[in-house]
Chain A
């Protein structure tokens, strides 16, 4: 009972507190409870259009993310395709690049000033609108941006897949395709649903992509509508913003309810050891080539466009030997002290958030498992909401909550810790989801046997649950780190002098029209993240099997 109470308390602090503060602002008028403004807000055509756009792009984007991420997860985890580790590694990168950078890179790739298309004579003539503006571009980039989430989540599921089932099916003469569709997919079905829900919820809350690709074409989602309301009318519209946030929360909840239905399927027993493998035979090289080509188009080309832009003195200048300059790098890395500071700040804030959440995820999920089905699902849903809401809304909630000095700790405002707290609130769902999925597959018999042998609850947690859930916890921590390292919308309102984050620096450069300098920072960020991942890769032998999604 104690773990359950603690878990409920934790969710109360992480999710119910900020959301409750917003809800109070949304529905409590001057004369007490008043739902009238909320309802009239929903009835507005602009709001309805934004609701439809949000659902549309998030859903189709999630399906696209699944279509990209799932085959790679299968290839990397279960086949002998060449370069699978490298491909898995590369596929993680979109998640580690801030959404607004991804959008910028793709726009540079396909616009009239595209250096790449220009060299092959395919660049559209000046005056051609960017093909990525609007619905299609947003969906495409949601698919690419969130494919790593699908990949990581499914990969965690596949790593835990009992090898015996697959081998039994193969021994009985089933063709690989049949094994895949009748054994593998049904067994990891909960992971599919979890991955799809993650991608959907991420799309609902995404700001960077619809901001760059939607706003110029007046294609608004709820997140960009909120931003425009705030930018247009200033903070006097806080109640209306809170109302729009409540609508977003409702949409996210609906997505999570679907997830709950999917998870009703019974779990299966996991076994550790080598995961099941398929041999591709003659198909090895063609499959590797197709995978590499896809990654090339999805990742390498836009990154190349980004690098190109970072090497010219100003956006729009053609790259040539005479225009090539490292000045943007010198400016942001040497002349502006804030950039280095921002790297450091973003690094330690996201590491701390990842560490804390990874440590808490297993006890939290175990505690929740002690509850009956319905309250448990409700609490998981609640935990997802701060992630689904636009960060700017969560940030406002945090300011309202933490500005006044609290007993013992004082005011968090104007310190980096308010950003850390907001990260914990925002990314708790990312850490909890994979762990919960993995717990669902630990057979109760193991725990029962241990209990029968006299092991108490604590001992069972440490010797059975923790080791089996560890890969999922580390996968969750990775997700948290990568998402926090690049996030912009939360820290945009919470940063203070000397506590700026990378996202803040990047956005302010873009806002000032300095795309070339912004690109330089983005390139360095990608470089830093790749180095970090390579270090992790070197340490792989020290980690439990299946922890690093690309191995």
Chain B
């Protein structure tokens, strides 16, 4: 029986030309627990010969783990699937990423993947405004958060803690005509910057704050369950992180890693992202319920290379404005 199984497996390997399709794949990701499990399960369902071992945590913690392993000379991960492009730019500059220029990027706008094929965006996670439905003022624009009605009522993730929040800050300061003065106005209006997105959702749905800056999928998902929150895409536009995937130079299973990247970028992988409540990066894949039409979401651009170069300066400036 066992021989038969092995034989048929070998035959299957012979018949499918491309790559290994068996063995292991070690994924380090910042996706939430449930989503990471679903992604791994879907990939393993497609490639039953490959076992995905995944580790999930916030991007900084995942990177801490990766760096510690690197320092000790035994990096474990094959693939990184983390929140933002800025971190990937840094890794690419250090020569830690494996280029995969052959990846099929049909349906992806050019600004969503690296020109050398070092990393590829898999979805859009935009940051907009959440409000508690008990609030009397319904915000439509970023500037509404600096009005007297919002005084002392705004919570936002701190760029000192959250990578996505840093990108959000950079995007807004680059695109709003007020630049950094917008954040000064927020600080003067008593806005509170701390922690990550989960804490903002808890604060706003718990009614401790009425308004918050937050990633789209959290309040949209919770509002569908009945939480007293609603999400707004402000008129000026939203910032976005793109949850890029990259293969590591030190990958022990580079072929399986390439299959994984292909899977995430494929229509099937993108539909999985949509079913989890995210905006798929690939054009032509429908957005999940609760979102407006793709054409109505205005994503503001930012300069990732500059964001990386000015990271410390931006954080210090923010810390100064908010007295942290």
Q: Which residues of A are in contact with B by a Cβ distance under 8 Å? A: 107-108, 111-113, 126-130, 215-218, 228, 230-232, 234-236, 238, 312-317, 323, 336-338, 396, 399-400, 403-404, 411, 413-414, 492-493, 495-497, 505, 508-515
Contacts and interface: CB of A to CB of B under 8 A. Distances in A.
30 contacts: A111-B206, A112-B207, A113-B205, A113-B206, A127-B134, A127-B135, A215-B194, A218-B192, A218-B322, A230-B60, A230-B61, A235-B64, A312-B226, A315-B205, A316-B132, A316-B207, A316-B222, A336-B37, A337-B37, A400-B72, A403-B68, A404-B74, A413-B76, A505-B33, A508-B56, A512-B32, A512-B33, A513-B197, A513-B201, A513-B202
Contacts of A317: 225-228
A216 B199 contact: yes
Contacts of B152: 127, 129
List the 6 closest pairs (A to B, CB-CB), nearest first: A316-B205, A112-B207, A314-B227, A513-B201, A235-B67, A403-B72
A234 B207 contact: no
Nearest to A336: B34
Nearest to B69: A403
A108 B74 CA distance: 43
B194 A216 contact: yes
A314 B226 contact: yes
Interface in B37-96: 37, 53-58, 60-61, 63-65, 67-69, 71-74, 76
Contact of A234 (B67, B201, B203): B67
Given A497-B54, A508-B32, A228 B208 contact: no
A496 B28 CA distance: 10
A228 B152 CA distance: 23
Given A111-B208, A336-B33, A512-B34, 16 more contacts: A112-B206, A129-B152, A215-B195, A216-B199, A218-B322, A228-B160, A234-B60, A316-B132, A316-B227, A316-B228, A317-B226, A411-B74, A413-B74, A492-B61, A511-B58, A514-B198
B60 A108 contact: no
Contacts of A413: 69, 74, 76
Contacts of B134: 126-127
Interface in B188-228: 192, 194-210, 218, 222, 225-228
Given A126-B210, A216-B195, A513-B222, A230 B205 contact: no
Nearest to B311: A233
A178 B210 CA distance: 56
A476 B297 CA distance: 58
Given A216-B203, A513-B201, A399 B72 contact: yes
A515 to B, nearest CB: 5
Contacts of A107: 206
Nearest to B52: A497
A231 B161 contact: yes
A399 B65 CA distance: 8
Contact of B218 (A113, A414, A512): A512
B298 interface: no
B295 interface: no
A414 B61 CA distance: 15
Interface string B281-324: 00000000000000000000000000000000001000000111
Contacts of A230: 60-61, 64
Nearest to A504: B57
Given A399-B72, A512-B32, A513-B198, A492 B57 contact: yes
Contacts of B324: 218
B242 interface: no
B208 A396 contact: no
Contacts of A511: 32, 58, 196, 198
A492 B132 CA distance: 32
A126 B194 contact: no
A203 B295 CA distance: 52
Nearest to A130: B208
Nearest to B162: A231
A497 B62 CA distance: 13
Contacts of B203: 216
B33 A112 contact: no
Nearest to B71: A400
B270 interface: no
Contacts of B206: 107-108, 111-113, 130, 315-316
A129 B204 CA distance: 11
Contacts of B232: none
B195 A508 contact: no
B228 A234 contact: no
Contacts of B229: 316
A442 B227 CA distance: 60
A314 B68 contact: no
Contacts of A396: 64, 68
B256 to A, nearest CB: 15
A462 B309 CA distance: 66
B146 interface: no
Contacts of B65: 399, 493
Most chain B CB neighbours (cut-off 10 Å) among A126, A215, A317, A495: A126
Most chain A CB neighbours (cut-off 10 Å) among B57, B135, B195, B202: B202
Given A111-B207, A215-B195, A234 B74 contact: no
Given A216-B192, A230-B60, A313-B226, A399 B69 contact: yes
Contacts of A130: 206, 208
Interface string B120-164: 000000000000101100000000000000001101000011100
Most chain B CB neighbours (cut-off 10 Å) among A127, A315, A413, A496: A127
A232 to B, nearest CB: 4
A24 B107 CA distance: 51
A14 to B, nearest CB: 21
Given A315-B222, A316-B228, A510-B198, A228 B205 contact: no
Contacts of B199: 215-216
Contact of A129 (B161, B196, B205, B208): B208
B267 to A, nearest CB: 26
A417 to B, nearest CB: 16
Contacts of B207: 111-113, 126-128, 316
B222 A508 contact: no
Given A403-B69, A513-B198, A513-B222, A314 B60 contact: no
A512 B198 contact: yes
Contacts of A492: 57, 61
A181 B55 CA distance: 55
Most chain A CB neighbours (cut-off 10 Å) among B60, B218, B323: B60
B216 to A, nearest CB: 12
B155 to A, nearest CB: 8
A234 B63 contact: yes
